[in-house]
Amino acid sequence: MFDTLADADLIDGLSDAGRAEAAAIARRLALIGELDARRERELAETIFWRTDPFEEVAAEVSAALAISRARAGGQIQYARALRDKLPLVAAVFAAGAIDYRVVRTIITRTATVDTGVFPELDAALARHAPKWMRLSDQKLQDRVDQWVAKYDPNGVRVPPSVEESRHITVEPTTPGQAVVWGTVSAADGASFDQRLDALAATVCANDPRTHQQRRSDALGPLSRLEAQLPCRCGTPDCPAAATRAAADAAVVHVLADQATVDGTSDKPGYLPGFGIQPAQTVRELAAAGRTTPVTVPTETPGYRPTAALRDFIRWRDLTCRWPGCDAPALATDIDHTVPYPYGATHPSNLKLYCRHHHLVKTFCPGWSDRQLPDGTVLLTAPTGHIYRTEPHGAALFPTLA
């Protein structure tokens, strides 16, 4: 496509593309800001309670852009800041003179500024920001903070204390693996470190794993309140093969084909929240746990689905069915697409919505949905746009459709 362009033309084209990208993002945020303003006016004019206009707009934005509610909420906050506090910065952004990184930094670093100083601060930032495009993140923050300090010394962003920033995060990485990281108190960290070492030492000398690998594997027994790490030496008379203490305190559900569990297929399984799991991992988990078949139940005569029907819907859908939403099945409501008793309590009329999206669909005017026999949901927005979502579990395991 670009074979005939000179090197200088490639660089010029790259710069043009960057400006066009910035302008496109600015336009997206401006559109979100206008939608948000309209929904706020509509709510102010109605005498009926609906829901928070922020949630209404987040639902529309997440459906249109196929992003999560949290990401949509972040977009709305940026749009509001540019619309209400930083209109001159927004204009420079729309012209492609500054990029999204610069705009995000400006919005973040001015979040605690007194509203009365924004007109002057906005003008100063809009005038100088184009010169900051090549600065590192830290230098960019320093430049913004410099202007914030000039107009509102109390508005300079103060880093949170170490105590306030404590957290534990568990995230999926490669298939079958997760990363665990966070900040805890020094005393708890020392106790955790010692406990991992103690569990890692409960195997016999013939265990093939390194000490660090055993520490990693010890996290499972620790989370299940077990007192021993299973040894992998493979010998029948292993001195460390005593019965593990304590009953399992954590339950992990994995979805897989029976053939994978039996070893006749290498099709991967699925661990909610952590994605695809290799077949060998599935078999190891199945060997240490209990397997329960997922069956397609028949219609339930009443309003509430049976336990078997609830389980099927959760495994078929896996997450909230709103476009872009990944709320896990256990954090969702089971919704009748056609309200009971006009609609049956049947797989073809049931689906998962998280509580936020369930409320939006129920109480916000203009939203409606339709469900196909295979579980596909067609969601219609107040603007008439139709968004199609397929059940994620059925997409991974077609027998659930």
On whether both 229 and 329 belong to a single domain, the answer is no
Residue 328 has pLDDT above 80, yes or no: yes
User: Is the residue at 300 inside a domain?
Assistant: no
Range of the domain at 200: 167-250
Mean pLDDT of 217-245: 83
Whole-angstrom distance, CA of residue 51 vs CA of residue 104: 28
On whether both 12 and 144 belong to a single domain, the answer is yes
Mean pLDDT of 64-91: 96
DSSP-derived pairing of the beta strands 269-271 and 368-371: unpaired
How do residues 63-75 score in pLDDT, each as one tens digit? 999 999 999 999 9
On whether both 346 and 242 belong to a single domain, the answer is no
On whether both 213 and 268 belong to a single domain, the answer is no
User: Is the residue at 134 inside a domain?
Assistant: yes
Amino acid letter, residue 94: A
How do residues 262-320 score in pLDDT, each as one tens digit? 999 999 999 888 888 899 989 988 888 888 888 888 778 889 999 999 999 999 999 99
Residue 108 has pLDDT above 50, yes or no: yes
The counts of H helices and E strands in the chain are 15, 9
Task: Give the CA distances from residue 118 to residues 75, 103, 114, 123, 126, in Å, rounded to whole numbers and listed in that order.
Answer: 20, 15, 7, 8, 12
Return the top range by mean pLDDT from 94-98, 216-220, 280-284.
94-98
User: Is the residue at 268 inside a domain?
Assistant: yes
User: Is the residue at 238 inside a domain?
Assistant: yes
Residue 61 has pLDDT above 70, yes or no: yes
In total, how many domains does the chain have? 4
User: Is the residue at 78 inside a domain?
Assistant: yes
Amino acid letter, residue 225: L
pLDDT, residue 162, reads 63
Which of 155, 179, 195 marks a domain boundary?
A: 155
Query: In terms of residues, how long is the chain?
Result: 401
HSE (side-chain half, CA atoms, 13 Å) at 386: 7
User: Is the residue at 301 inside a domain?
Assistant: no
CB 63 within 8 A of CB 55: no
Whole-angstrom distance, CA of residue 2 vs CA of residue 7: 10
On whether both 123 and 194 belong to a single domain, the answer is no
User: Is the residue at 110 inside a domain?
Assistant: yes
pLDDT, residue 53, reads 80
Question: Across all residues in the chain, what is the average pLDDT?
Answer: 90
On whether both 104 and 54 belong to a single domain, the answer is yes
Residue 342 has pLDDT above 90, yes or no: yes
On whether both 86 and 190 belong to a single domain, the answer is no
On whether both 187 and 241 belong to a single domain, the answer is yes
On whether both 235 and 342 belong to a single domain, the answer is no
pLDDT, residue 392, reads 95
DSSP 349: G
Whole-angstrom distance, CA of residue 148 vs CA of residue 130: 17
Mean pLDDT of 37-60: 82
How do residues 122-167 score in pLDDT, each as one tens digit? 999 999 999 999 999 999 999 999 999 999 888 777 766 667 778 9
Give the pLDDT band of residue 247 (cuts 50, 70, 90). very low
Percent of the chain whose pLDDT exceeds 90: 64
Residue 98 has pLDDT above 60, yes or no: yes
pLDDT, residue 44, reads 77
User: Is the residue at 2 inside a domain?
Assistant: no
On whether both 132 and 206 belong to a single domain, the answer is no
Determine how many CB atoms are found less than 10 A away from the CB of residue 169.
Answer: 10
How do residues 363-399 score in pLDDT, each as one tens digit? 888 999 999 999 999 999 999 999 999 999 999 999 8
Whole-angstrom distance, CA of residue 17 vs CA of residue 39: 33
pLDDT, residue 298, reads 78
pLDDT, residue 31, reads 98
pLDDT, residue 47, reads 61
Find the Cα–Cα–Cα–Cα dihedral 94, 99, 101, 102, rounded to 10°: -80
Residue 220 has pLDDT above 80, yes or no: yes
DSSP line for 273-333:
TTEEE-HHHHHHHHHHS----------BSSSSPPHHHHHHHHHHH-B--STT---BGGGEE
Q: Which residues lie below 8 Å from residue 59, measured CB to CB, with a gap of 6+?
A: 69, 72, 322, 356, 357, 360, 364, 367
Residue 248 has pLDDT above 50, yes or no: no
Residue 207 has pLDDT above 60, yes or no: yes
Q: For residues 243 and 190, which has the higher predicted lDDT (pLDDT)?
A: 190
On whether both 318 and 233 belong to a single domain, the answer is no
On whether both 59 and 126 belong to a single domain, the answer is yes
